[in-house]
Amino acid sequence: MSQTVRKGERTRSRILEAARVVFARHGYERATIRAIAAEADCDKSSVIQYFGTKQQLFREAVDWQVDLGELAAEDPRRQGESYLRSMLADFTDHPDVPMIALLRAAMTSEDAAQLLREKVTAGSIDPVAATLEGPDVRLRAALIGAVMFGVTVQRELLRLPDLAAADLEDVLRLAAPLVQQLLDTPHGAPTGDL
């Protein structure tokens, strides 16, 4: 691999990291190519050279996968805890996760909100719904996502004092049963495809 290619890859990575910071700090509408270039310590033309437009840079900067489908093989009685633990761990272990920039941008940009809807639907609602039985599988999967995103956003992004200060195990002890209840087939409900 040539020196120029490696330098180009480093510059591109630096721009992506800077874009996440700027989009997370200012949202999509107020973030500028100039501010991203300054954060990346490069010139504006480099940002345009590597990514073209602000929209293309944004889409790449917030590219992340919520993949709850991978956790579906876990112990079915503890699946709710596994889902929630995994999501909270992603935020705790990776505070620069692209989802933070996307969540903040989604509050002010319909394009960002649509992108967030697509990612959440494809990464969490679709795979979880595919594992559920009984009635209302799509609604139950959406509610699971709502509980998990709500806990995660309030604990890790908004840093609401009571939730942010709570021990992770206490959060899981109280919240995981809510998720598990939605995962379990409702008592007396018919099973199979609906």
pTM attached to this predicted model? 0.74
pLDDT value at position 102?
Answer: 82
pLDDT range class, residue 111, cuts 50, 70, 90: confident
HSE-CB at 154 with a 13 A cutoff on CA atoms is: 14
pLDDT at 92 over 50: yes
Using an 8 Å Cβ cutoff, are 36 and 53 in contact? no
By percentage, how much of the chain surpasses pLDDT 90? Answer: 41
HSE-CB at 102 with a 13 A cutoff on CA atoms is: 23
Which pLDDT tens digit goes with each residue over 3-41? 665 888 999 999 999 998 898 888 888 899 999 999 999
Taking the C-alpha atoms of residue 194 and residue 175, their distance in angstroms, rounded to an integer, is: 28
Please name each of the domains of the chain with its CATH number: 3-61 (1.10.10.60), 68-183 (1.10.357)
Higher pLDDT, 74 or 168: 168
Using an 8 Å Cβ cutoff, are 31 and 45 in contact? no
Which pLDDT tens digit goes with each residue over 121-159? 888 899 889 989 999 999 999 999 899 889 988 988 788
pLDDT value at position 123?
Answer: 80
The per-residue pLDDT of the chain, averaged, comes to 84
Higher pLDDT, 178 or 120: 178
